[in-house]
Amino acid sequence: MQTQAEIQSFSGKYPKQLWHLAGSEMWERFCFYGMRGMLTVFMVTQLGLDDKTANLQYGAIQAFVYAFTFIGGVFADKILGFQKSLFWGAILMIAGGLVIAFSPASLFYIGTCFFIIGTGFFKPNISTMVGQLYADDDARRDAGFSLFYSAINLGALLGGVLMIWVGKYHSWPLAFGLVSVVMTISLINFAFTRKSLGPIGLSPLHPGIPNKKRRMYEVAVYIGSLIAVPFILKLVTNTEYTDLFMYIIGPATLVYLAWEMRKFNTAQNKRLLAAMVFILFSIIFWAFFEQAGGSLSIFALNNLQHELFGFIPMDPNVVNNSSNSVFVILFAPLVGLLWLWLAKRRMEPNSVVKFGLGFLLLAGAFFAFYATVFFADADGITSLDIFTLGYFIITFGELSLSPIGLSLMTKLSPQPIQGLMMGMWFLASAYGQYVAGLLGAGMSTADPEASNLDKLIAYTTGYQQLAVYALIAGVVLIVISPWVRRLMKGVH
């Protein structure tokens, strides 16, 4: 078995283990983004929820998905290790897909609870293992995360197109059943390639702990996560409990991080403070960006033409679920080359400025979504082309922020709490999803008899407001960038 140092001394641009992890992640993201794209459409068309309730339910479900990435990261750090955590997460996601497929209308929320817990154990830990393939000072780390991010988007593209298409036009049970099939592929891929990871992701428990006690700890985690299912079911189906949970988990997480920070020196703690700045602003970014699965999904269902460029037949929900991924796959390499070109000329913006640029582009995208109101007919049906333009713009905002966010969490975090900090990065996404649901519900018209045109005006007015707020956030980030850079102590 290779040592971690031997793995990190690979030649070339990418370690072979990265391709293995990217393969497993691609299939998991197929399931995640396919599920995300189906949630509000399924709740509105099959469960009979109104737009406001569907937005709140979407925000609650997605918030818990990401909140459990923090919990999964902690258990991986302390007991399971990243490899066993990934296995357990995949098994739970497979179970969740089968449960919903058996009876989508009656078992939707129960199956979703398995999916929530499973993603929590899977998602943060595979990202952390990617970070551990590189030495601390390895300049190839960002390129590795960019490739990993491409795998995420390839999976998102496939899942976003296929699952919503199968569900809307063929069979909802089959669409949810695809989750189990595809997650099984992901798990098999990892099972056959995990030996190449050497010690990366193995149990963090002290070698001196007896095997019996070690197994007892692991089984306790497995049983505890199953016992949590009815508790999560109660939280997800009652959004007032979701509010209470979100009020508690964030402050509790900060207290726990403060407790862990006492173990580190001043320079390390300054870097952790810089990481918290990125985490805070990422909450705002994802609250706006994740309208994709909530209000924008309902907007696509009700208010968009079914032709692209005036002559290509296209389901608007397919565009909503997949266009971002298409643009990421097409343009991520070009953005990477742009950063390299600027770096050679010592003109590459630092990570904080890139975050700021991400917000400015986010603002441009929501101005485009708002502009669809000027192309609407009397029935509230508007241009799919302008809507797609919004996703084109938002893609470059995402490419300025999300790939470097994953990399920064591994750069700025001391190794003993990398799982924790990766979990906090995704917990920030949980808060973003939660706020996204609230924003989407706030933009929904409360009148059940409202016309399609009234709904369009309500949503586009909301998108205009989000554009303004994103513009302000981007300017603030660029202004404070010198202070944050000093905290980062040389991490670019």
Mind listing the pLDDT tens digit for each residue in 349-380?
888 888 899 999 999 999 999 999 999 998 99
Kindly give, in sequence order, each residue whose CB lies less than 8 Å from that of residue 286, ignoring residues fewer than 6 positions away: 428, 429, 431, 432, 433, 436
Mind listing the pLDDT tens digit for each residue in 271-287?
888 888 888 999 999 99
What whole-number distance in Å separates Cα of residue 82 and Cα of residue 152?
Answer: 19
Residue 239: pLDDT over 80: no
Mean pLDDT on 302-313:
88
Domain locations along the chain: 4-488
**Averaged pLDDT of the chain:** 87
Output the pLDDT for position 12.
79
Longest dimension (CA), the chain: 73
Assigned architecture for domain 4-488: Up-down Bundle (1.20)
Identify the weakest region by mean pLDDT among 69-78, 150-159, 189-198, 292-301: 69-78
Concatenating the DSSP letter of every residue in 331-342 gives HHHHHHHHHHHH
Handedness of CA 339, 24, 215, 95 (dihedral sign): positive
Output the pLDDT for position 260.
85
Residue 490: pLDDT over 70: no
Output the pLDDT for position 148.
83
Look up residue 130 and give its two tokens. 């990617």
CB 360 within 8 A of CB 474: yes
Mean pLDDT on 460-484:
94
pLDDT > 90 fraction of the chain, expressed in percent and rounded: 31
Residue 130: pLDDT over 90: no
Kindly give, in sequence order, each residue whose CB lies less than 8 Å from that of residue 364, ignoring residues fewer than 6 positions away: 393, 397, 467
pTM for the model stands at: 0.82
Angle, CA 349 vertex, CA 348 and CA 355 arms, to 5°: 140
Look up residue 383 and give its two tokens. 């241009």
Output the pLDDT for position 367.
96
Look up residue 229 and give its two tokens. 């299912």
Residue 73: pLDDT over 90: no
Output the pLDDT for position 361.
96
Question: For residue 187, what is the enclosing H or E element?
Answer: helix 172-193
Mean pLDDT on 143-168:
85
Question: For residue 196, what is the enclosing H or E element?
Answer: none
Mean pLDDT on 84-91:
91
Output the pLDDT for position 491.
67
Look up residue 56 and give its two tokens. 């709140």
Output the pLDDT for position 475.
95
Residue 138: pLDDT over 90: no
Kindly give, in sequence order, each residue whose CB lies less than 8 Å from that of residue 328, ignoring residues fewer than 6 positions away: 149, 150, 153, 395, 398, 399
What whole-number distance in Å separates Cα of residue 264 and Cα of residue 413?
Answer: 10
Output the pLDDT for position 406.
67
Output the pLDDT for position 492.
59
Mean pLDDT on 7-12:
83
Output the pLDDT for position 207.
75
Mind listing the pLDDT tens digit for each residue in 418-456?
767 777 887 888 888 889 988 998 888 767 777 889 889
Mean pLDDT on 320-341:
84
Mean pLDDT on 292-302:
90
